[in-house]
A = this chain, B = another copy of it.
Amino acid sequence: MITVTCVQLAPVAGDGAGNRARSTAAVAAAAGADVIVLPELTTSGYDFESVEQARASAITADDPVFDDWARAAGGAVVVGGFAERDENGVLRNSAMLVDGSGRRVRYRKTHLWDEEALYFTPGDESPPVVDTRAGRIGVIVCYDLEFPELTRSLALRGAELLTVPTNWPLVDRPEGEHPPERIIAMAAARVNRIAVACADRTHLEGGRRYTEGTAIVDANGWTVTEPLTGPGSVTARIDLGVARDKRISTRNHLFDDRRPEIYR
């Protein structure tokens, strides 16, 4: 069993120092967990006023904020989103995984949502699956989750826990329903038998309302955390042993049952 904490906070575009301080404080508050997930674009905020503001908020993958997170985490694996300025000066909507060993694994979001395309260039590499002390952790960002081929591919590559820094704009849903992105996360968990940890932001920025959909889904596909409004965090104990066994009946195995030759 591992302890997973997803942090819901309110990054502010243009306030890099504040975003760094708030995110590091949130990691420190979650220390003791095995895995801590922060939202998409935690260091930069989401609602940029201009390309110039987005560019000014971008940091490189060797920025000291990732050391701050690792130090504050007390040995936990931390996954969080940041606006990256890459080696060619190109902006990326990225996520970083850090742990107590000094390791850094970066992922560049491959499916950009709407106005993100004004600021960022999509990544061209498959998302990482990282062997950590806490288990095998996959990293994707927000809209990536809505491509079931992608979540399947991460599961086939051994991901047991999918971490999803996200900024989900609020959309309509029927009374009593989960947010649609949550339903997609639950289905991805269920069909792949992997846990999914989504850290969303809150809506304190600009005119845009966010879903505040932070939640942890276990490897059977059930949401095991309570809804969270405003800044805070949710924590759950998760058994990744479930994710390592894909047998779902006497004769069925989630992966061996696949018929790729049929999926065309």
Taking a contact as CB atoms closer than 8 A, the residue among B115, B149, B190 that contacts A152 in the complex is B149
Do the beta carbons of A110 and B191 come within 8 Å of each other?
A: no
**In the complex the two chains form, what is the Cα distance from A184 to B222 in whole Å?**
12
Mark contacts of A221-234 with chain B using CB atoms, 8 A cut-off: 1 yes-contact digit, 0 otherwise: 11000000000000
In the assembled complex, the Cα of A144 lies from the Cα of B252 at a distance in Å of 12
**Cα–Cα distance between A188 and B113 once the two chains are bound (Å):** 19
Residue in contact with A148 in the complex, picked from B152, B174, B252, B260, CB distance below 8 Å: B152
**CB <8 Å contact, A262 and B148:** no
Q: Which of A119-172 contact B (CB under 8 A)?
A: 122, 124-127, 143, 146-153
Segment 188-205 of A: residues with Cβ below 8 Å from B:
188, 190-191
- Check B114–A187 contact: CB distance below 8 A: no
Q: Which B residues lie within 8 Å of A221 (CB)?
A: 180, 183
Contact B186 A183 (CB under 8 A): yes
Q: Whose C-beta in chain B lies nearest to the C-beta of A220?
A: B180
**B149 contacts A251, C-beta separation under 8 Å:** no
Please tell me if A258 contacts chain B, counting CB pairs below 8 Å. yes
The answer to whether the Cβ of A103 comes within 8 Å of any Cβ in the partner chain is no
**Is A257's CB within 8 Å of the partner chain B?**
yes
Does residue A101 face the partner (Cβ distance < 8 Å to B)? no
CB of A221 to closest CB in B, whole Å? 6
A52 at the interface (CB under 8 A from B): no
Closest Cβ–Cβ distance, residue A135 to chain B (whole Å): 22
| A177 CB within 8 Å of chain B | yes
Contact call A149/B114, Cβ cutoff below 8 A: no
Which residues from chain B contact A188 at a C-beta distance below 8 Å?
148, 187
Distance in angstroms between the alpha carbons of A115 and B250 in the assembled complex: 8
With contacts A114-B251, A187-B187 taken as known, whether A222 is within 8 angstroms of B177 at the C-beta atoms is: yes
With a CB–CB cut-off of 8 A, which chain B residues contact A258?
147, 149
In whole angstroms, how far apart are the Cα atoms of A140 and B152 in the complex?
A: 20
A residues sitting closer than 8 Å to B (CB atoms) are 110-115, 117, 122, 124-127, 143, 146-153, 173-174, 177, 180, 183-184, 186-188, 190-191, 220-222, 249-252, 257-264
| Subset of 25 A-B contacts with CB under 8 Å | A110-B259, A111-B257, A112-B251, A114-B250, A114-B252, A115-B251, A124-B261, A125-B262, A126-B262, A147-B258, A148-B151, A148-B187, A148-B191, A149-B263, A152-B263, A153-B262, A153-B263, A174-B222, A177-B222, A180-B220, A183-B190, A184-B187, A184-B190, A187-B187, A187-B188
